[in-house]
Chain A
Amino acid sequence: MAVAQVETLPNGLTLAVEERPWNPGVAMQLLVPVGAVNDPEGMEGAASLLEGWLWKGAGSRDARALADAFDDLGVRRGSSSALEHTTFAAQFLADKLPAVLSLYADVLMRPHLRAEALEAVRQIALQELASLEDQPPKKMFTALRRTVFASPHGRNPSGQKAHLESLSAEALQADFARRYAPRGAILALVGGVRFESVREAVWSALGEWKGEGAGYPAVELRPAQAIHLEQDSAQVQIGLIYPDISFDHPEFYSARLAAQVLSGGSSSRLFTEVREKRGLVYSVYAAPNGVKGYSYLTAYAGTTPERADETLEVLQAEIARLSEGVTEEELERTKVGLRAALVMQDESSRSRAASIARDLYLLGRVRTLEEIEAQIAAVDGPRINRYLAANPYRNPWVATLGPRKLVGAE
Chain B
Amino acid sequence: MTQTKSAVEFKQATLGNGLTVIAEVNPEARSVALGYFCKTGSRDESPEVAGVSHFLEHMLFKGSATRDALGVNLEFDQMGAQYNAYTSEENTVYYGAVLPEFAPRLLELWTDLMRPALRQEDFDTEKQVILEEIALYEDRPNVMLFDWGRAQYFAGHPLGHSVLGTTRSITALTRAQMADYLARRYVPGNLVLTLAGRVDWERTLEQVAQLTAGWPKGEAPRAYPEVKARVGELREPYPKATQTYLAVLAPGVSAQDPRRYAASILANILGEEGNSRLHWALTDRGLVESVGAGVDEADRAGLFYIYAQTHPVNEEAVKGVIREELGRLEREGVRPEELERAKNKLATALVFAGETPMQRLMSMGLGYIYNQTYEPLSEIARKVEAVTTADVNALLEEKPFSRAFYYSLVPA
Contacts and interface: CB of A to CB of B under 8 A. Distances in A.
A267 B76 contact: yes
B48 interface: no
B236 interface: no
Contacts of B242: 130-131, 133-134
Interface string B1-19: 1101000000000000000
A64 B289 contact: no
Interface in A129-184: 130-131, 133-136
Interface stretch (A34-42, A72-80, A103-111): A72-80
Q: Which of B99, B288, B337, B341 has the most CB of A within 10 A?
A: B341
B310 interface: yes
Nearest to B312: A130
Interface stretch (B187-195, B209-217, B319-327, B345-353): B345-353
A341 B82 contact: yes
B132 A91 contact: no
A344 interface: yes
B288 A127 contact: yes
A124 B291 CA distance: 11
Contacts of B127: 279
A276 B70 contact: yes
Given A77-B274, A127-B289, A63 B284 contact: yes
A235 B135 contact: yes
Given A77-B274, A133-B242, A343 B74 contact: no
Contacts of A63: 284
Contact of B129 (A92, A265, A281): A281
Contacts of B132: 235, 279-282, 302-304
Interface stretch (B137-145, B226-234, B247-255, B394-402): B137-145
21 contacts: A23-B2, A56-B284, A63-B284, A68-B275, A70-B275, A73-B344, A93-B351, A123-B287, A123-B311, A232-B239, A235-B138, A235-B139, A266-B76, A267-B74, A272-B73, A276-B73, A279-B132, A337-B77, A341-B80, A347-B30, A348-B356
Interface in A14-43: 20, 22-25, 27
B224 interface: no
Given A22-B28, A341-B80, 6 more contacts: A23-B355, A74-B348, A76-B352, A93-B348, A235-B135, A346-B30
Nearest to B72: A266
A267 B311 contact: no
Contacts of B66: none
Contact of A235 (B80, B136, B279): B136
Given A91-B352, A92-B348, A333-B77, A280 B29 contact: no
Contacts of A7: none
B61 interface: yes
Given A134-B140, A281-B132, A124 B80 contact: no
A230 interface: no
A268 B28 CA distance: 32
A284 B243 CA distance: 27
A245 B30 CA distance: 32
Contact of B355 (A123, A131, A264, A347): A347
A67 B274 contact: yes
Contact of A136 (B82, B139, B340): B139
Interface stretch (A114-122, A194-202, A312-320): A114-122
B31 A25 contact: no
A336 B341 contact: no
A242 interface: no
B274 A336 contact: no
B97 interface: yes
A77 B345 CA distance: 10
B29 A347 contact: yes
List the 6 closest pairs (A to B, CB-CB), nearest first. Answer: A340-B80, A120-B286, A123-B286, A74-B344, A279-B128, A71-B341
B235 interface: no
Contacts of A268: 77
- Give the size category of A's interface with B: 35 or more
Contacts of B283: 124
Interface string B89-100: 000000001110
Given A275-B129, A282-B133, A302-B136, A264 B77 contact: yes
Contacts of A349: 352, 355
B129 A27 contact: no
A122 to B, nearest CB: 7
A70 B142 CA distance: 30
Contacts of B73: 265-267, 271-272, 276
Nearest to A66: B275
Interface in A364-396: none
Given A25-B2, A336-B78, A344 B129 contact: no
Contacts of B222: none
Interface string B56-77: 0000010000000110011011
Interface in A338-361: 338-341, 343-344, 346-350
Contacts of A128: 289
A340 B98 contact: yes
A204 interface: no
Contact of B82 (A119, A134, A332, A340): A340
Given A77-B274, A281-B129, A344 B97 contact: yes
Contacts of B341: 68, 71-72
Interface in A238-261: none
Given A127-B311, A278-B125, A344-B97, A120 B78 contact: no
Nearest to A338: B80
A8 interface: no
Contacts of B30: 343-344, 346-347
Contacts of A119: 286
Contacts of B286: 119-124
A131 B243 contact: yes
A1 to B, nearest CB: 10
B300 interface: no
Interface in A183-211: none
Contacts of B352: 25, 27, 76, 91, 348-350
